[in-house]
Chain A
Amino acid sequence: MAKFDYNDDSVVVVIGSGAGGGTLSNELCQKGIKVVCLEAGARQSSASFINDEWKSFSQLAWLDPRTTSGSWRIAKDFAGLPAWICKTVGGTTTHWAGASLRFQEHEFRTRQVYGDLAGANLLDWPLTLDELEPYYAKAEDKMGVTRTNGIPGLPGNNNFKIMYAGAKKLGYAEVHTGRMAINSQPRDGRGRCMQLGFCFQGCKSGAKWSTLYTEIPKAEATGNFELRPESHVTRIEHNAEGKVNAVVYFDKNGNEHRQKARIVCVAGNSIESPRLLLMSASNMFKDGLANSSGQVGRNYMRHMTGSVYAAFKDPVHMYRGTTMAGIVRDEARHDTRRGFVGGYELETLSLGVPFMAAFLDPGKWGADFAWWMEHYSQLAGMWIVGEDMPRETNRVTLNTNVKDKWGNPVPNVHFDDHPNDMAMREHAFSQGEKIYQAAGAIRTYRTPPYPSTHNLGTNRMSAKASDGVVNKWGQAHDINNLFVSDGSQFTTGGSENPTLTIVTLAIRQADYIVKQMKERAI
């Protein structure tokens, strides 16, 4: 691994090492660009991951203080934990389940296709599926996505058998073990999935793609990369011309450092990225960096989610094998006859006993709750993930009443479901229940959304500078050497799990940055 001087102003500083930051770092390093990656979390490994839900949560989750507001149930049940995302090298790619789905063509132009929905701030992406397809292909190859590049699908577990049987009885057509960035056979120096179960707790076999043990060591091998774990960024600085030129951060001992930079790429996920831009306000940029549109922090999306659990009279043991073991894709289409715009995916999901107790129905108690826990080994489960509507009022702001340990205002996450989100959730709950009833369920349960894992949209892409924060390359409209490289650049959320698209955009962004650097444009 390289070591760069704090005053080396030729480096690209990437903030965050997850799907966006980790991928971008490696792509730049492979092309000969010097990169300093500042990661707030510590470095773990497959060996140090803990397959125990609460212990792993303490090891990997982002637990710095946050606040919540709005009518979403999270604000009541998990007031200090709006999101279940990670603070560790590799970011949330340590925790994700591996589902790797391309956006559908119409999901890049929802304003056009869905129309002008009251209370929604829909906008077309400034790019198309056609433009992204070559990069989607690169991302799928990089990540080893099953059912692409000749890679076989994963074997389905018991949880999937139930989903499959029920979905087929209902007449669903596209039901399979998914497109997963989990090795179904050895590939890229990593072994095949051992069906350990604990995908959310960090993959101890390394079969699931994570930047922690793919992109990051590959970047380190180039000699162009310096990773600085446990480096918490608090401010991005700029020069008199309004170009960013340094990043200020605290190391693990609480010492403040200033790393100079030619280019800064922000990839701290959709809560921290806008927070950092807002905290970097200056005399020149009074509302925060890259915020002439006023859109930084707005249009926060979290996907329309929910879960359906079902109890059967016979054993299931859903915890055995991959957490997200299969998918029903038929409802991902846009079809307003269902009473809403956009669509959703149904994906199997399983929790262990500790997290089932915490998340089945937060706050619930009594004999009925106990009944569900006692039937744990007879439960099957699925997660609903659908497109939610961007709203200007759903936003990340700085809460100046609450300070973190570095003395900075914590982010407040405000969210109200759009009526379209509620209509879609109702439909999805109902279809999920029907799937399980068709498979013989004795009871079904509607579980409310977990703290958000798909956090999107708070630095949205737009064709016009007045509509959003970054252009089609993730480059800030206002500051041409400042980039956003994570899911916060999504203009709208689509119905698909976002990681594949984040990685795709990062690969594409790296090409653009290299070209711009060669042309001395930045």
Chain B
Amino acid sequence: MRVIPIGAETGIQADASGCDEESGVVQKVNMPLVRREFLKGTGILFGSIASGSVLAALAPSNAWALELKTLTSDEGKVLMAMGRTLYPHKKLPDAVYALLAKDLDGGANSNAATAKLLKDGVASLNKAAGGDFSKLTHDQRLAIIHPMEDTPFFGKVRGQCITSLYDNDMAFAAFGYPGSAWEKGGYITRGFQDLKWLPNPPAEASPPPFLG
């Protein structure tokens, strides 16, 4: 699969100069993109990042697409919808939920039992929906998912959400987490004690930093 990273490797610096910034901004956004002519898989998920969002500002292109190797496009969309139902974030574009589908697909591709678990689970969601689960409203989806909370399918998808949705550069940017800081010299001169809405502790409780 050809992967085109969204976001230039350089030129975007996390702005940590003040405590009042909207969010930290990270450099790398590794959003895989595939071109149709390279597709050999079973499905494809694609979409675009809304222009004007903090993430769009990082990306050279708003369009994204990714290939599935075992699951179908429709199955991928249902899993994305399930992810958004479990962890609903207006701040996160579909591109992040697509990472969930991609990671689950990766598991399905390497393990037949996982593939069956996911395909059967998706089928049960669609059955309960009386059609396409991903087309339902948030509340309708919630009502279907709640009774499934103790199933292995639910556990598999929910557990995967934790790393797929929250351990990626787009989530970092959306939630204001700059990640690694040593490359920038840490925070000793970059705002580790810049909170201004409370008084500073006295020096005996919090001595001044040693700056050589």
Contact = CB atoms under 8 A, between A and B. Distances in A.
Interface of A: 51-54, 152-158, 160-162, 164-165, 175-177, 184-186, 192-198, 204-205, 312, 314-317, 319-321, 326, 352-354, 356-358, 363, 365-367, 369-370, 373-374, 376-377, 439-440
Contacts of A354: 163, 166-167
B187 A197 contact: yes
B44 to A, nearest CB: 27
A357 B165 contact: yes
A369 B158 CA distance: 13
Interface in B144-165: 158, 161-163, 165
A177 B177 contact: no
A29 B181 CA distance: 37
Contacts, number: 170
A185, A204, A376, A440 — most chain B CB neighbours (10 Å): A376
A352 B178 CA distance: 9
B30 interface: no
Contact of B206 (A52, A177, A374): A177
Contact of B86 (A160, A162, A366): A366
Given A161-B195, A184-B207, A184-B210, A365 B188 contact: no
Interface string B83-110: 0001111010000000000000000000
A54 B207 contact: no
B90 to A, nearest CB: 8
Given A152-B207, A369-B87, A158 B19 contact: yes
22 contacts: A54-B167, A154-B207, A155-B207, A155-B209, A156-B205, A157-B187, A161-B195, A194-B187, A195-B192, A197-B187, A204-B182, A205-B186, A317-B176, A319-B178, A320-B187, A326-B206, A352-B177, A352-B179, A356-B166, A365-B86, A370-B89, A439-B198
A377 B210 contact: no
Interface string B183-211: 00111101111110111110011111110
Nearest to A204: B182
Contact of B205 (A158, A164, A319): A164
B144 to A, nearest CB: 14
A52 B181 CA distance: 10
Given A153-B206, A154-B207, A197-B186, 14 more contacts: A51-B179, A53-B167, A164-B201, A164-B205, A165-B199, A165-B201, A177-B207, A197-B181, A320-B16, A326-B205, A352-B179, A357-B167, A365-B161, A366-B86
A126 to B, nearest CB: 37
Contacts of A376: 175-177
A314 B198 CA distance: 10
B192 A321 contact: yes
B171 interface: yes
A176 B198 contact: no
Contacts of B201: 156, 160-161, 164-165, 175
Contacts of A165: 198-199, 201
Contacts of A185: 210
B111 interface: no
Given A158-B193, A185-B210, A52 B179 contact: yes
Contacts of B166: 353-354, 356-358, 373
Given A158-B19, A184-B210, A353 B198 contact: no
A31 B75 CA distance: 67
A321 B193 contact: yes
Contact of A205 (B182, B206, B208): B182
A153 B205 CA distance: 8
Nearest to A351: B177
B202 to A, nearest CB: 9
Nearest to B200: A161
B32 interface: no
A357 B162 contact: yes
A353 B193 contact: no
Contacts of B158: 363, 365
A414 to B, nearest CB: 23
A300 B98 CA distance: 43
A88 to B, nearest CB: 18
B137 interface: no
Contacts of A194: 182, 185-188
Nearest to B21: A315
B88, B89, B180 — most chain A CB neighbours (10 Å): B180
B24 interface: yes
Interface in B26-74: none
Given A184-B207, A352-B179, A373-B175, A314 B197 contact: yes
B158 to A, nearest CB: 6
Q: In the A-B complex, list the 7 residue pairs whose CB atoms are closest, starting with the nearest.
A: A156-B206, A194-B186, A377-B176, A357-B166, A321-B192, A51-B180, A158-B195
Nearest to B188: A195
Interface in B1-36: 16, 19-21, 23-24
A176 B179 contact: no
Given A319-B177, A367-B88, A177 B205 contact: yes
Nearest to B180: A51
Nearest to A201: B180
A245 B62 CA distance: 67
Given A51-B182, A52-B179, A194-B182, A176 B24 contact: no
Contacts of B171: 353
Contacts of B198: 161-162, 165, 439-440
A224 to B, nearest CB: 34
B42 to A, nearest CB: 28
Contact of B89 (A51, A176, A319, A374): A374
Contact of A176 (B172, B182, B190, B204): B204
B181 A158 contact: no
Contacts of A156: 193, 201, 205-206
Nearest to A54: B167
A366 B176 CA distance: 20
Nearest to A352: B177
A193 B201 CA distance: 19
B183 to A, nearest CB: 9
B93 to A, nearest CB: 14
B11 to A, nearest CB: 21
Contacts of A186: 210
